[in-house]
Structure 1
Amino acid sequence: MKLAAFQSGLAAALLDQDAKLALASQPAFAVYRNTVMKGCLYALEANYPSVARLVGSDWFRAAAAIYVTTRPPRDGRMLNYGADFPDFLAGFEPAGDLPYLPGVARLDQAWTQAHVAADADPIDGAWLAALSPEALGNVRIAPHPAARWQWFADAPIYTIWQRNRSASDNADEIAWLGEGALLTRPQDAVIWREASLADCAFLDACAEGMPLADAAVAAVTAQADADIADLLFGLLRAGALIVAPSTESTS
């Protein structure tokens, strides 16, 4: 057997109980198989802690074991493992009574993405305040590289997620309304807060390269009662905005 074929067979056998590789029949091979499986389960649990806390470790590991056998790691950086785990949960029949679970998983994933994203200097509010009204409307700002945001129209995903992410003992009843989430990392630590529909529409527009005036229109179109001044202040305070590269290069 050629080395490449052996390596491929060995990798497959580590997660396949029915593998035909001769080495896999050896009793000691089970030790390696168990080690690999446990490593994958621990990685998923570390990458999706809110999901694990919400459903309990036993349920999570049973679901994760099924995921691991069908979607083994393809990257040695286990921080990246489980990129499609939220989609897996969305189609996982035992999670059918937990329709909010994929959304919670997506926010866990957003935390990891924010954690490893590139650094950048957030916009200083004083810089915006110094612009003329015309320049302010035409300026292009962009989401911080670490900013992650999402609107969940059908469920209070952010509240469910943040209570489990922070291991909160808050037992107050959750209002079953749509809500959004914004995660950022302006400095060393990931921070998060609830996001309005207008926040998400504004950030979407900025990500598409729209000037600030058009992004404001998009926010108000999405949410008619949005206060653009408050919205902008909140995003600046969260460190969620940077000067768009093209704007920065011409200033």
Structure 2
Amino acid sequence: MNLPLGQFQDAFIDALYRRPAPQLQDLTGQAAFAVYRNTVLAGCVDALRANFPSIEILVGPDWMQEVATAYANHSPPDDPRLIRYGAGFAEFLQQLQAHHGLPYLADVARLDFFWCEVFSADQDSCLDLAELAGMTASDLMHSHLTPRQSVRWQWFETHPALSLWRCSREGQPWSEAQPWVAEGALLSGNRDGVSHQPLEIGGCAFLDACAAGHSLETASQLAQQCQPDLDFNDLLGRLLQAQVFRPLSFT
């Protein structure tokens, strides 16, 4: 069967990922076609191992190879930029907890993928502190602070996920003196690379509210309801220094 080039390419990709491609049945039935499938699968597995280095440190290369292969067969990439491959890998690991016995593994994987997202994000405009000059407190409270595309954050209620991730990624041993407590993390990117820092629960709540479109006044109130002892001025200073926000917008 002769197909237009575009339809042939689409069907060929479907066949590579074991999706139905009846138009190419004669081709895919040949034993040599497995070479193409295996090459693509190997590329997916290599991308996962590169995108989740902390997980490989925690579980070892053999188990990582096995679980990455299972994930690649289950969820092939839908974006040619393989640094963005693995959006569902943390949830996949969560479902396998009975097999690996590491309840914190999925949270560490989320931070690995946050790093990939931040690193590969478009560099949108950043809030210039000069924009704040001459503004009244009332003006500022009614403004909107929107997080940039190259920023990710999350509060991890059960595990010291940031400390686990940092130790794994930096090849540092885990200290038994490290308290096993909830932690929050903030990752932000710019032209110099990706930075990370701890973020308290109130800070995570504040950024959640900002991302949801609330004014600075409402977002700060929600943050302090979540964490009554939050030093909001200190938090805002740290977020501005980390270049978290886009330029100001107003209601």
When the two structures are superposed, what TM-score results if normalisation uses the length of structure 2?
0.85
Kept after mapping to 2: 8 A contact 1:121/1:186: no
Partner of 2:83: 79
Closer, same or farther: CA 99–129 of 1 in aligned 2, 3 Å? farther
SS at 2:238 equivalent: helix
Kept after mapping to 1: 8 A contact 2:164/2:174: no
User: In structure 2, how many angstroms separate the alpha carbons of the residues matched to 1:173 and 1:15?
Assistant: 46
1:99 aligns with 2:103: yes
**Which stretch has the larger CA shift, 24-33 or 80-89?**
24-33
1:227 aligns with 2:231: yes
Identity %: 40
User: In structure 1, how many angstroms separate the alpha carbons of the residues matched to 2:190 and 2:82?
Assistant: 24
Closer, same or farther: CA 187–73 of 1 in aligned 2, 3 Å? closer
1:116 aligns with 2:106: no
User: In structure 1, how many angstroms separate the alpha carbons of the residues matched to 2:182 and 2:161?
Assistant: 8
Partner of 2:149: 145
Kept after mapping to 2: 8 A contact 1:118/1:146: yes
Kept after mapping to 1: 8 A contact 2:128/2:247: no
Partner of 2:246: 242
User: In structure 1, how many angstroms separate the alpha carbons of the residues matched to 2:42 and 2:232?
Assistant: 49
Return the match for 2:63 from 52, 59, 65.
Answer: 59
Runs of 5+ consecutive residues of structure 1 not aligned to the other structure: none
Return the match for 1:204 from 196, 205, 208.
Answer: 208
Kept after mapping to 2: 8 A contact 1:152/1:178: yes
- Displacement of 1:24 in angstroms is 5.3
User: In structure 2, how many angstroms separate the alpha carbons of the residues matched to 1:109 and 1:11?
Assistant: 25
2:199 maps to amino acid: A
Q: CA RMSD in A?
A: 2.6
Closer, same or farther: CA 231–83 of 1 in aligned 2, 3 Å? same
1:190 aligns with 2:194: yes
- Displacement of 1:91 in angstroms is 0.9
**Which stretch has the larger CA shift, 99-108 or 65-74?**
65-74
User: In structure 1, how many angstroms separate the alpha carbons of the residues matched to 2:111 and 2:193?
Assistant: 16
Closer, same or farther: CA 9–99 of 1 in aligned 2, 3 Å? same
Closer, same or farther: CA 224–75 of 1 in aligned 2, 3 Å? same
SS at 1:242 equivalent: coil
Closer, same or farther: CA 8–130 of 1 in aligned 2, 3 Å? closer
1:37 maps to amino acid: L
- Displacement of 1:131 in angstroms is 1.8
- Displacement of 1:188 in angstroms is 3.0
Runs of 5+ consecutive residues of structure 2 not aligned to the other structure: none
SS at 1:239 equivalent: coil
1:217 maps to amino acid: Q
